């Protein structure tokens, strides 16, 4: 491709993008198959949710186990309230979009009442399909 920024599209560019996108999907699917096979190997030979490694030829295949901890919101809030630690609980105010839509449909609220509050986000996406 030219280093100059040109505003030119060619069928060759679109065709190559389409081809590369198909290859990407095929590669991702194949990698997912391999990952499943690798996890099955480690589950069978090392143990479920157990890290391990195996050397195969010039390659070392490793499995790491990542752990994340998160408090169950409902259960933790109840427990903290029972222990009189309400100051450890966040009160989060957020609009109930479903109720807002219902209020607008019922005529209790006008759309333009919240007009400046409505944020619209857009992101461009490219799609190429083979047109036969």
Task: Look at residue 125 and tell me if it is in a domain.
Answer: no
CA distances 85 to 20, 70, 92, 128, Å, are 56, 18, 17, 55
Query: Do 57 and 76 share a structural domain?
Result: no
Query: Do 62 and 13 share a structural domain?
Result: yes
The tens digit of pLDDT for each residue in 26-60 reads 999 999 999 999 999 999 999 999 999 999 999 99
Domain span at 47: 8-66
pTM higher than 0.85 for the full model? no
Radius of gyration of the chain (CA): 27
Query: Do 103 and 57 share a structural domain?
Result: no
The tens digit of pLDDT for each residue in 76-125 reads 999 999 999 999 999 999 999 999 999 999 999 999 999 999 999 998 78
Query: Do 51 and 13 share a structural domain?
Result: yes
């Amino acid at each position: 491709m030219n280093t100059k920024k040109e505003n030119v599209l060619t069928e060759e560019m679109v065709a190559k993008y389409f081809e590369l996108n198909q290859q990407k999907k095929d590669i991702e699917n194949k990698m997912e198959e391999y990952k499943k096979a690798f996890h099955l190997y480690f589950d069978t030979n090392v143990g479920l949710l157990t890290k391990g490694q195996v050397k195969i030829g010039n390659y070392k295949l490793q499995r790491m186990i990542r752990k994340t901890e998160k408090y169950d919101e409902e259960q933790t809030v109840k427990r903290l309230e029972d222990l009189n630690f309400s100051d450890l609980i966040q009160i989060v105010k957020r609009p109930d979009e479903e109720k807002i839509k219902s209020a607008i449909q019922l005529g209790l609220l006008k759309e333009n009442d919240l007009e400046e509050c409505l944020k619209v986000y857009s992101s461009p996406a490219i799609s190429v399909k083979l047109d036969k």
